[in-house]
């Protein structure tokens, strides 16, 4: 059974601009900007220092700011993972106003670890697929697209989530590829619009402006693509349940004795 790509895009957009969708954009934006400003600050600080091996030996405290920034950046990165998991959980639910506490707390350590390790494995698998004449990479990208949802929502480990996504996409992969292309094109358009912030780059203040524009685009596209992914997951599960129910009904009818 084909899926309605236009409807999924509209639903993804609709969920993105609901109150909790906008809240998620704001959270992602703030975390990303803080991380970016931290990186710019460290780059500027290093450029002003005599950051050589001899300088480090003479004054080991030169390592403190970069190491401290690295730790803070790691914490912010973990925070982004947590928010990403929470976003998936919100968008597969019917909640449109609040960000319930449980979406940020339920099995979060387990989900975060699996999402982190799974993302590395997923990236390697897809990269190897693209090396093998591109088509296998696209196939794997589409086939395994929903593994993050299974980790976040179903509390599966990433290996089981890969298998679940493989099964869920069976019969819909061409449609999902078209859906993915549409999301990529819309994302590229948003990035192009916000890319004008790069015109201000050059000075530190200009780099901050460019960073703000870039992270605003990133927050919007991240929430939108997550909403579309969650919508597609919900729709495919509903269709599978419907087909399963029809099969059971047919089997039951076939097993009844003739009147």
Q: Look at residue 53 in the predicted model and tell me its pLDDT.
A: 54
Q: pLDDT digits over 116-171, tens only?
A: 999 999 999 999 988 877 788 889 999 999 999 999 999 999 999 999 999 999 98
Q: Of all residues in the chain, what percent carry a pLDDT higher than 90? A: 60
**CB 53, CB 62: distance < 8 Å:** no
pLDDT band at 3 (very low <50, low <70, confident <90, very high): confident
For helices 64-91 and 19-48, the axis angle rounded to 10 degrees is: 170
Dihedral (Cα; 185, 189, 194, 196), 10-degree rounding = 120
Break the chain into its structural domains and give their ranges.
5-239
């Amino acid at each position: 059974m084909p899926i309605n790509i236009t409807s999924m895009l509209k639903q993804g957009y609709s969920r993105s601009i609901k109150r909790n969708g906008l809240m998620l954009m704001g959270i992602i934006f703030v975390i990303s900007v803080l991380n970016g400003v931290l990186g710019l600050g460290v780059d500027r600080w290093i450029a002003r220092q005599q950051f050589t091996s001899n300088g480090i030996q003479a004054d080991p405290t030169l390592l403190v700011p970069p190491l401290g920034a690295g730790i803070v950046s790691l914490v912010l990165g973990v925070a982004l993972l947590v928010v990403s998991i929470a976003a998936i959980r919100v968008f597969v639910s019917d909640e449109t106003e609040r960000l319930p506490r449980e979406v940020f707390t339920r099995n979060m350590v387990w989900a975060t670890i699996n999402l982190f390790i799974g993302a590395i494995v997923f990236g390697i698998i897809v990269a190897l697929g693209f090396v093998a004449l591109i088509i296998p990479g696209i196939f794997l990208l589409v086939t395994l697209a929903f593994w993050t949802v299974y980790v976040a929502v179903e509390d599966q480990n990433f290996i089981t989530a890969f298998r679940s996504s493989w099964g869920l996409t069976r019969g819909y992969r061409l449609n999902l590829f078209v859906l993915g292309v549409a999301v990529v094109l819309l994302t590229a358009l948003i990035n192009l619009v916000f890319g004008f912030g790069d015109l201000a780059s050059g000075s530190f203040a200009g780099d901050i402006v460019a960073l703000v524009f870039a992270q605003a685009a990133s927050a919007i596209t991240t929430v939108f693509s997550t909403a579309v992914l969650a919508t597609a997951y919900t729709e495919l599960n509903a269709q599978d349940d419907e087909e399963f129910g029809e099969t059971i009904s047919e089997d039951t009818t076939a097993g009844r004795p003739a009147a």
